[in-house]
Structure 1
């Protein structure tokens, strides 16, 4: 009884403390807006990564490679539920209020209630490439969708995307004007055009993951099911571990699981198949894993955009296509959109894996042309050029 009471009191105190911190943050931000804006200051803010990876890594690297006046600051947290101290709230408020450029790479709840200053650029360099399943305000009225009164995303000055064709989807999803969405490219895709870097990643991963060396690697990277982070799951009952092992292990394959970080229920690999299936979900950067993969199995995940740049086979395992379409929906016709075979059962999946080198190259080329305006590995350069020029060409 006493233990339950202690837990209840602790929960209420934690809730009160969190509310107090956020109230303090808003007051601190308001106070800091009275200070001058620091020209050429660039703040990297994230609640989805604790170190520089993804788009942030490539933008940071490009800035540091130049003789530039840009001055960089960072405030990175692994998740938006990670605790922040009063000192950290103070720093975040100061960075948003006084930096000329504030970069986000994902959902960032603290910033949305704020009125961004006129000479500050709040820039969303979204972690995903392309767009085909609906998100944000495109999901109003659907399970997990926002209310019309939500302030989420609406105060972005700019958002960066890979193609003019997806710009309207992002404008709708973020609830911002089309003119604020700039098809400069996704900086994190620059690595796919750097042969030396790609080989260094392959060499490093063969040392870190010795079980892939000399094997045909199949990466299984589905998205989550459910309405969002709190309810996310994946139905592993769809996977017949025995069949995949029996059909593919003797042929020199291994299968890596890279499960979406939102998913709470982890893949349980049967012990007798532990020399074929490997869970690499804790490995942060999926793009590195793509480089060592001979085929990708996914469903509705944006990982297909990056993998398509390698011009290898993607298999779309979608046993719940009708249900997913009804609850999540797409910006495009899924069955016409995907640049690879759609399979609904294990037998079909095995067959497509065995035909790893057989895929429709014309369909893949059309996909790349639509979702990437520039296939040149210079997205980071274009972005930092715009940053240094304060986006004057786009105003």
Structure 2
């Protein structure tokens, strides 16, 4: 099998040029390998060896060397290697391998083949345009191209040879899942050694393919009709109840992401109870956005939203966005995140998962609280509200980090409930989800090498998972590692876990803002940062923004922890920029600036 793959280059847009100049540029837009005068298939069989062939779920780590006798490999830029995925004699995928120096060998004249080595980590769950390999059988080969003297290119394709000793029981098997809004697929992925072809054989066997939007479609259609009817009744009665006077002492708390008073709600509520005011509170709390609401609940919401002086939200709350908030009432967004990190809301118009420019979501907030003056503009843009409606009071739930008594109570309770936390340092792993939104949210757990992390840190640490609630694919912790890895994804308040964590490992999550207040190390495990920047983007340049080291692989993560390369010096300036006040009084400022100031002013006219 001989491949004639030519590098293609696409020019960036540039000012118009003359035809002659364009033709000259086109003629020269090729790599060194494409300008070779002659391509030679050497008669000598290449010398090659695979020195590492390790699988971690769907990720292959491959390492080795390959060269042709008497063809020097002295220049790194004159050597190119690729791993070829081949099906029925056709190259399906071509993955570049990194050139590395090979320094130790018992072969003679090894210095002639300095750049014979190669290394790469390949995620087979994303190998096919961010999807797994389609159902079928495949083989792996190595392609070597060397640009030698007299502009001659030497081109060889070779099998990987016997890799059986890298496979336990002569086989490796794992499951691969793929998530998108309209497709979920599950594959059995099996790796063996092909004795006939003398190379690696891959079997990708599709177990399942479903369209989640079609599951129980009849029931969903019925629910959709009923829900639309209830919402129509809700909007109709809201307008009718707006004819009633506003009750100046009524405050409604509404959430579709928590069924109890926790987070910002808890701190604001407690602060209001401490005031000498006769507030009347109403609570509309659901665990998740698709939790059922009865017709009676919709009627109660319509009445209390129409007659409340203040309505407090802490997250996305779609039922309220079409409403016109009454002139003397406030719709206050306390929001569940701190700071401004990855773009959200209307900052993402035109991007996958971004809103329509005509959407009404968020735009009727009369008040939005944020942690500092520096980020008011980002929240105004993200929510589509005037910047005057965004107030830098601080975030109520961060008051916990300034209350020593309460912090000790939380730690004591956690140690009592989870005794395995005692006597160990805690690594808290709290990344955000991948995918365009809630329907396609997932996390690629294969990026973590459970076995390596376990053996490196089990004696000193425990490792807690706190996965985003949107994520559909669940963690599967192997039983042999269950004394080190623990799943805390259902634990509601992450801020409490921060108090017992010694190291936070995150990526693009806003949890880094709160943890920075504790002045403890943060590692940003961002293996897909280039792709994330392209698809999601940030309010700040990512690499200079993060207040801690960047780990682009599990090996990087392990190395940073073992060598204490935490970059503590970045934390102080980070905290000062994103928090105006560090006094534990954010709840009081929220109550004063957003609630009580207007409440007392209204009483003067009663």
In the superposition, the TM-score normalised over structure 2's length comes to 0.62
Q: Is the 8 A contact 2:253 2:284 kept in 1?
A: yes
SS in structure 1 of the partner of residue 428 of structure 2: strand
Q: Is the 8 A contact 1:37 1:99 kept in 2?
A: yes
Q: Could you say which structure has the higher helix fraction?
A: 1
* Counterpart position of 2:537: 329
- The structure 2 residue matched to 1:133, chosen from 318, 325, 342, is 342
Cα deviation digits, residues 127-149 of structure 1 (max 9, x gap): 11101100000000000000110
Q: Could you say which structure has the higher strand fraction?
A: 2
1:345 is displaced (CA, Å) by 1.0
The alignment covers a number of residue pairs equal to 385
2:586 matched to 1:379?
Answer: yes
Q: Is the 8 A contact 2:432 2:506 kept in 1?
A: yes
Q: Is the 8 A contact 1:131 1:302 kept in 2?
A: yes
**Matched ranges for 1:227-376 at <5 A:** 227-250=436-459, 252-356=460-564, 359-376=566-583
1:271 is displaced (CA, Å) by 0.8
Distance in 2 separating the partners of 1:27 and 1:149 = 22
* Counterpart position of 2:321: 112
**Matched ranges for 1:1-395 at <5 A:** 9-250=218-459, 252-356=460-564, 359-386=566-593, 387-390=595-598
Task: Let me know the Cα RMSD of the aligned residues.
Answer: 1.3
Distance in 1 separating the partners of 2:255 and 2:238 = 17
1:243 is displaced (CA, Å) by 0.3
In the superposition, the TM-score normalised over structure 1's length comes to 0.95
Cα deviation digits, residues 234-293 of structure 1 (max 9, x gap): 00110100000011112x111000000000101110111000000011100000000000
Which one has a bigger Cα radius of gyration? 2
Distance in 2 separating the partners of 1:311 and 1:162 = 17
1:13 is displaced (CA, Å) by 2.2
Q: Is the 8 A contact 1:37 1:98 kept in 2?
A: yes
Distance in 1 separating the partners of 2:310 and 2:563 = 48
Q: Is the 8 A contact 2:548 2:568 kept in 1?
A: no
SS in structure 2 of the partner of residue 283 of structure 1: coil
1:70 is displaced (CA, Å) by 2.4
1:8 is displaced (CA, Å) by 5.5
1:56 is displaced (CA, Å) by 0.2
1:392 is displaced (CA, Å) by 8.9
Distance in 2 separating the partners of 1:260 and 1:113 = 28
Q: Summarize the Cα distance change of 1:19–1:66 in structure 2 as closer, same or farther, 3 Å threshold.
A: same
1:66 is displaced (CA, Å) by 1.7
1:355 is displaced (CA, Å) by 4.1
Q: Is the 8 A contact 2:549 2:567 kept in 1?
A: no
Cα deviation digits, residues 31-85 of structure 1 (max 9, x gap): 1101000002111010110001110000001111121132211110011110000
Q: Summarize the Cα distance change of 1:392–1:138 in structure 2 as closer, same or farther, 3 Å threshold.
A: farther
Q: Is the 8 A contact 2:454 2:481 kept in 1?
A: yes
SS in structure 2 of the partner of residue 12 of structure 1: helix
SS in structure 2 of the partner of residue 165 of structure 1: helix
1:9 is displaced (CA, Å) by 4.5
1:12 is displaced (CA, Å) by 3.0
Distance in 2 separating the partners of 1:126 and 1:8 = 33
1:11 is displaced (CA, Å) by 3.5
Distance in 2 separating the partners of 1:370 and 1:195 = 24
Distance in 2 separating the partners of 1:370 and 1:391 = 31
Q: Is the 8 A contact 1:40 1:388 kept in 2?
A: no
Distance in 1 separating the partners of 2:527 and 2:371 = 29
Q: Which runs of 5+ in 1 are unaligned?
A: 1-6
Distance in 2 separating the partners of 1:54 and 1:192 = 13
SS in structure 2 of the partner of residue 278 of structure 1: strand
Distance in 1 separating the partners of 2:223 and 2:567 = 55
Cα deviation digits, residues 149-183 of structure 1 (max 9, x gap): 00000000010000000110000000011110000
Distance in 2 separating the partners of 1:184 and 1:41 = 22
Distance in 1 separating the partners of 2:219 and 2:389 = 44
Distance in 1 separating the partners of 2:566 and 2:441 = 32
Q: Is the 8 A contact 1:295 1:314 kept in 2?
A: yes
Larger deviation, residues 67-76 vs 111-120: 67-76
Q: Which runs of 5+ in 2 are unaligned?
A: 1-215, 602-606
Cα deviation digits, residues 304-347 of structure 1 (max 9, x gap): 01100100000000000011111110000011111000011112
Distance in 2 separating the partners of 1:360 and 1:326 = 26
SS in structure 1 of the partner of residue 283 of structure 2: strand
Moved over 6 A (4+): none
